[in-house]
Amino acid sequence: MSSQPSSLPSLSTLYWNDRAFGRWAKTIGFSLVVAAGMWWATRPVPGALVTENTAFDAEVGKAVPPIALAVAGVALVLLILRYLVVKRTLTQGIAIQGLVEHIDIYSREQDTDRTPGQKRSYVRTYWATLVYTFGGKERRVKLKLPNSGFTFGLSKGRETDLMVLESSPDKPLILSIYQNRS
């Protein structure tokens, strides 16, 4: 086991390859669009007829932007925390070798409205089961991959580089995913 500092991935790489980072980034964007859209939609229109229903809708609509901004704030905090965890793992973690024990592919038909003659589309989810030894103990984890294992040079029975923090040995990062190399 060696402790070699790794370079940090770009924010774009994190967005596309780290599920948690991408999820929080999308939540921030969506929340900001909702806040701006509701703020714009509840602006008074000069000369418009105001009824009891429209007045109620406008009052309810005024509560949405602060809630959406709060959600965006929480998502921003979680995004920053995830970035710091990845950064800490890649810079202060210990580089080890892990073995890809198995890659599972789950496939399901995409739930879309199809007209006759359209091709069916499928959504595939890839999971890698890794086995590695850390701290004198053999560990086995199952990690969801952002793409097929082939994309990252992962295949059954092949070794791969992992980065592991001593404080969280059951949460390794697969280096090829974060450094765009196989």
The backbone region for 162, taken as left when phi is positive above 0, alpha when psi lies in -120 to 50, beta otherwise, is: beta
Q: Would you call 155 helix, strand, or coil by DSSP?
A: coil
CB 105 within 8 A of CB 126: yes
For 50, list phi and psi in degrees, rounded to 5.
Answer: -105, 120
Domain 94-177 has CATH 2.40.50: yes
* Domain boundaries of the chain, sorted by first residue: 11-91, 94-177
Quick one: pLDDT at residue 2? 45
- The model's pLDDT over 104-144, given as tens digits with 9 standing for 90+, comes to 999 888 766 665 666 777 888 999 999 999 989 999 999 99
| Widest Cα–Cα separation across the chain | 75
Compare 81 and 8 and report the one with higher pLDDT: 81
Cα separation values, 118 from 25, 124, 154, Å: 33, 19, 33
- The model's pLDDT over 42-97, given as tens digits with 9 standing for 90+, comes to 877 777 676 666 666 777 788 899 999 999 999 999 999 999 999 999 999 999 99
The mean pLDDT value for 31-47 works out to: 86
What whole-number distance in Å separates Cα of residue 114 and Cα of residue 122? 13
Cα separation values, 113 from 15, 108, 110, 116, 174, Å: 29, 15, 9, 10, 37
What whole-number distance in Å separates Cα of residue 170 and Cα of residue 74? 26
Residue 3 predicted with pLDDT over 60 = no
CB 83 within 8 A of CB 14: yes
What type of residue is 118?
Q
- The model's pLDDT over 143-169, given as tens digits with 9 standing for 90+, comes to 999 988 888 889 899 999 999 999 999
Quick one: pLDDT at residue 56? 64
As given in the structure block, the two tokens for residue 151 are 């994309």
Q: How far is CA 147 from the centre of its chain?
A: 12
